[in-house]
Amino acid sequence: MSLLDVRDLSVVFQRRGERPFTAVDKVSFTVEPGQTVGLVGESGCGKSVTSLAIMGLLPKRGNKVTGEVLFEGTDLLKLRPDDMRDRRGRDIGMIFQDPLSSLNPVIPIGVQVAEVLERHQGRERKQALREARELLDAVGIPDPDRRLKEYPHQISGGMRQRALIAIALACKPRLLIADEPTTALDVTIQAQILTLLKQLVDDTGTALIMITHDLGVVAGLCDTVNVLYGGKVVERARRHELFGQPRHPYTHGLLNSVPRLDSIRGERLHAIRGSVADNIPWTEGCAFAPRCDNVVDACLEGPPPLEPTATGGDLRCNNPVSEEVAVP
């Protein structure tokens, strides 16, 4: 049994007097225990909404979530709110993009770590603070005794994200969801945080869903990668296949726009032309068609299906990039 099995997850935002908007469209993927899975795609493709739907954190009103989110066989979408609340932070942890605004500005770091231990493991404050100190130490925060008493604005951005990782992993969840955990950080700090995450999930056996718009982040971390476009999975592959032989024109374009150390000097990076604003609705064809170099007639006649590939992945494309052509 998979640790997490997301089946046909859809999120439709619907406000009175407005057109319904499908942000996540029948997304399915699985996460095995201890595995690291990437969710990749441009801003607005539905990555955050997917993670919030899994966590049951979408607003109560104004949206409809369908499908199944099976966590060790239990459908999280069918849980009573109180039961789901007990699981959050204990079974599934989450890290957000902006470490400063994700911490409560008026509570010292130590107490914020301690509180989650008190909440889920019934620790007394004193004992929880002792454990909090160890946790801060484990995520590489120097001088943890002092940091325990400091407020979020008194420590650096990288330190804050480390503290958030400590909080998210405090109760040893079996799954960690990281939503763009390095986007708000300096480039040098980004690498440190990714290394830390990798080391922690390796050491603890926690499974990780890594959400990012940056394929570079995925490259060193993920076992499997799901590429999202316009709310749908368009390609799924193991890391080596995805980077070695991207089949979907969108994935191909994304890879070509990542600077590579081994690229020929002076060669220009190819950004994907157009923007997400050019999409057509999936109901009319392939959403990527207006931006696609490989477009064929069938692409505008209906949504292409997601089909298994020879290498064990899945692909949603009528005219994929041929297997022979390696990435330059």
The span from the CA of 135 to the CA of 114, in Å, is: 10
The span from the CA of 5 to the CA of 211, in Å, is: 17
Taking CB within 5 to 8 Å according to partner kind, which of ligand ADP, other proteins, ligand SF4, none is near residue 116?
A: other proteins
Instruction: Please say whether the beta carbons of 166 and 190 come within 8 A.
Output: no
Q: What tokens were used for 27?
A: 């997304």
**Own/partner pairs for 110-119, CB < 8 Å, 24+ apart?**
110/136, 110/147, 110/148, 110/149, 112/163, 112/167, 113/148, 113/163, 113/166, 113/167, 113/170, 116/89, 116/167, 116/170, 116/171, 117/170, 117/171, 119/89
Interaction of residue 224 with Mg ion, rule CB under 5 A: no
Nearest residue to 25 (alpha-carbon basis) of 59, 56, 73, 66? 66
Interaction of residue 156 with other proteins, rule CB under 8 A: no
Which residue in the set 9, 55, 132, 185 belongs to the binding site for other proteins (CB under 8 A)? 55
DSSP conformation class of 130: H
User: Smallest gap, in angstroms, from Cβ of residue 300 to other proteins?
Assistant: 15
Which residue in the set 10, 35, 36, 48 belongs to the binding site for Mg ion (CB under 5 A)? 48
User: Smallest gap, in angstroms, from Cβ of residue 216 to Mg ion?
Assistant: 17
Which residue in the set 98, 151, 319, 327 belongs to the binding site for ligand SF4 (CB under 6 A)? 319
Which residue in the set 7, 13, 256, 260 belongs to the binding site for other proteins (CB under 8 A)? 13
- Name the residue nearer to ligand ADP (CB basis): 18 or 82: 18
Interaction of residue 59 with other proteins, rule CB under 8 A: yes
Taking CB within 5 to 8 Å according to partner kind, which of Mg ion, ligand ADP, other proteins, none is near residue 55?
A: other proteins
- Name the residue nearer to ligand ADP (CB basis): 48 or 224: 48
- Name the residue nearer to ligand SF4 (CB basis): 178 or 233: 233
Interaction of residue 310 with other proteins, rule CB under 8 A: no
- Name the residue nearer to Mg ion (CB basis): 94 or 117: 94
Taking CB within 5 to 8 Å according to partner kind, which of ligand SF4, other proteins, ligand ADP, none is near residue 88?
A: other proteins
- Determine the size of the site formed for ligand SF4 (CB under 6 A): 13
- Could you say which residues in the range 220-249 bind ligand SF4, by CB under 6 A? 249
CA 136 to chain centre: 24
Q: What is the dihedral of CA 238, 240, 246, 252, to 10 degrees?
A: 110
The span from the CA of 193 to the CA of 96, in Å, is: 13
C-alpha distances (whole Å) from 216 to each of 132, 182, 212, 260 are 32, 11, 9, 9
DSSP 87-98: HBTTTEEEE-S-
- Name the residue nearer to other proteins (CB basis): 232 or 247: 232
Nearest residue to 228 (alpha-carbon basis) of 239, 216, 212? 212
In this structure, the strands spanning 63-71 and 4-13 are: antiparallel
Using CB under 8 A, list all residues that contact other proteins. Answer: 12-15, 18-23, 25, 44-46, 55, 57, 59, 62, 85-90, 93-94, 96, 98, 100-107, 115-116, 119-120, 151-153, 164, 167-168, 229-232, 275-283, 287
Using CB under 5 A, list all residues that contact Mg ion. Answer: 48
Using CB under 6 A, list all residues that contact ligand ADP. Answer: 13, 21, 23, 41, 43-49, 59
